[in-house]
Structures are given as C-alpha cells and as structure tokens.
Amino acid sequence: MYKILLSLFILFLISADIFADNHSLNFDGSNDYVNISDNASLDIQFPITLEAWFNKSSNSGWDMIVDKRLSNDSVCNYGIGTANGRPGFYFRNGSWTTHVSSTTVPLNEWHHMAAVYDGANVVIYLDGIQVYSG
C-alpha cells in the first residue's frame, strides 16, 4: 500500500507542472488594474476579509490594492490599500468608513496585507503582524 501511495504522490508531483498556467500580471505602477464586471456576488455583506500581496515603489496619496467599486461609479464600496504609505481598509455601509494604520509600509519589498472586518471592528495585518485594530 505504501508503494502505491508513494507512486501516486510522485506521479502527482510530476504532472502538476504540466497543468500549471504559467501566467502572471505585471503592473508598471501607472494606471494599471484588472477590471471584473459588476456582479451581485461581489456585493458582500459583512463580515469580510480582504488580503493581497503587493510591492510598492512609492508612498503617496491613496493607492487601492484590492477594491470593489459601486456600479458605474468611481467610489469604492470596500477595499484595502495604502494612504500615504500606511495600510488601510475602506468601506461604505450607509456611510464612508476608513481605518488606517500608523505603520508605514517599507518600499521596494513584497508585503502581505490582510484586513478583517467582523461587522463592528476592523483588524489590519501587515506581513502577519497586527498593525491596526479599531
């Protein structure tokens, strides 16, 4: 039985590369984005967790990393990004709400950001470390 499982595991490892997509997106930092058509499944009711990997070369203004905009509107319904280089979570649930950390994101490095909103409180993590709660 052990030899059969080991053989199947090795076969899986070898064949996994065959089915890899080998695709990626490369953004130059100037007006680049991926647009997904509006869909009711994206109209999330809270609670919500958003997370993304990102690498920034400058810290200025409000930069959205992942966001859902209202249909035919430039206003963000919910999203994560940076406000002058500080991790933030933004959402509109009747009124506009913004939660921004006091921690500045180091430039030219890969980072993982996650924001968790349970319907009452927001917690923001940068590289696995809690940087905001409120």
Q: For residue range 2-23, list pLDDT tens digits in order.
A: 444 444 444 444 445 555 566 6
> Cα(49)–Cα(32) distance, rounded to whole angstroms?
23
In a domain, 57, yes or no: yes
Count of the separate structural domains present in the chain: 1
In a domain, 31, yes or no: no
In a domain, 121, yes or no: yes
In a domain, 125, yes or no: yes
Q: What is the pTM of this model?
A: 0.74
With 0-12 / 13-18 / 19 or more C-beta atoms within 10 angstroms meaning exposed / middle / buried, residue 77 is middle
Region of poorest pLDDT, from 13-17, 54-58, 64-68, 81-85: 13-17
Residue 57 confidence (pLDDT): 87
Residues in the chain: 134
In a domain, 114, yes or no: yes
What CATH number should be reported for the domain holding residue 94? 2.60.120.200
Chain segment 69-127, per-residue pLDDT in tens: 776 555 668 889 999 999 999 887 777 889 999 999 999 999 999 999 998 999 999 99
Neighbouring C-beta atoms of residue 65, cutoff 10 Å? 18
Structural domain span for residue 86: 45-133
Six-digit token string for 62: 């409000």
